[in-house]
Amino acid sequence: MTEKKTNLKVFISVDMEGITDVIHFDETSEKNPDYPYFRKLMTGEANAAIEGALAAGATEVVVRDAHGLARNLIPDELHEEAKLIREWAGSPLGMMEGIDKGFDAAVCIGYHAKASTPNATLKHTMIGLVLDVRVNDVSLPELGWNALIAGHYNVPVVFVSGDKAICEQANGIFDTIDTLAVKEGIGKACLNLHPNKSKQLIKTGVQNALQNLNKFKPLKYKPPFRIELYFKDEIKTYNASWYPGAKRISDLGVMYETNDFFEVMRFFKICV
């Protein structure tokens, strides 16, 4: 049975690599002549999520531009009922900048799989120098890390869209999450839905998730919190090992442990 919650406040984080038909890093960069087209597709999928949230009864929607320079979504083409966060503030919230305990749910659009995932489109974890991020022995894609940030504020991530690989990883991390694969990696190639079809499915998927909020729980791990960062560059590992309380655990790995998850977030921000 579906329900409409009154005064529903929804946070939407939008990345770009998981947007329909985006298949090359060039297409996600403002230096490429095709970038304006793909940022238009990104804005379209963000709008679909906003429309789904409003259809579910949302009275406030905040969208976080969470890719690259964080200046990708086209402001005057974004749904006028949404508020938009652009640029990086520099805080530990990163791709979830703006989230707080006042939100009822978070939605992630255009997300991608973690680094080294086979048959995944534009897979990576945060920056190219990161091999893996683990929290309490769980290897996380950006979706998982961002969901823990949301969970710190007691906000559940209820829906994610992106490629098939991130949907599979999401189902391995969350007890319950609604997923939508808008494309599927085939080596470096990618099988895509039509962009209009993706938008229809995103709107419906977000609406359905928000009308069934009771089935979702914030992603939280029990303290003590142990974060492990593995870098491609040994110098990056060396530098991170100087963070107060951090410990080098391998040639490329560094670990930090605390009972306060916000301190984990701060460690990640400074070291990555």
Helices (H), ranges, 33-93: 35-55
Helix (H) or strand (E) holding 209: helix 195-210
124 is catalytic: yes
Judge whether 3 lies within some domain: no
Q: Is 246 found in the same domain as 120?
A: no
Residue 30 belongs to a domain: yes
59, 10 contact by CB (below 8 A):
no
Report how many domains make up the chain: 2
Residues 211, 248 within the same domain = no
Instruction: Tell me how far apart the terminal alpha carbons of the chain are, to the nearest angstrom.
Output: 43
Could you tell me the two tokens for 250?
A: 């391998």
Q: Looking at 167, 193, 215, which one is the last position of a domain?
A: 215
Is 53 in the same domain as 101? yes
CB count in 10 Å sphere of residue 9: 17
Q: Which of 79, 124, 152, 194 is catalytic?
A: 124
User: Which of 54, 53, 52, 21 has the alpha carbon at shortest distance from 39?
Assistant: 21
Q: Is residue 2 part of a domain?
A: no
Q: CA-CA distance, 67 to 133, in Å (whole number)? A: 18
Does 144 lie in the same domain as 89?
yes
Split at pLDDT 50, 70, 90, the class of 6 is: confident
Question: In terms of pTM, does the model score above 0.85?
Answer: yes
Whether 202 contacts 49, CB under 8 Å:
yes
Which residues make beta-bridge pairs with 185?
Answer: 190
| Bridge partners (DSSP) listed for residue 258 | 225
**CATH number of the domain residue 91 falls in:** 3.40.50.10780
Query: For the segment 80-134, what is each residue's pLDDT rounded down to a tens digit?
Result: 999 999 999 999 999 999 999 999 999 999 999 999 999 999 999 999 899 999 9
Q: What is the residue range of 71's domain?
A: 8-130+137-215
Residue 150: inside a domain, yes or no? yes
For residue 181, pLDDT beyond 50: yes
Q: What is the pLDDT of residue 112?
A: 98
- Rounded CA-CA distance 88/127 in Å is 15
* Domain end among 197, 215, 233: 215
Q: Examine residue 265 and state whether it is found in any structural domain, yes or no.
A: yes
52-76 per-position pLDDT tens digit: 999 999 999 999 999 999 999 999 9
Cα torsion 46, 153, 95, 163 to 10°: value is: -60
Same domain flag for 122 and 206:
yes
Residue 4 is predicted with a pLDDT of: 62
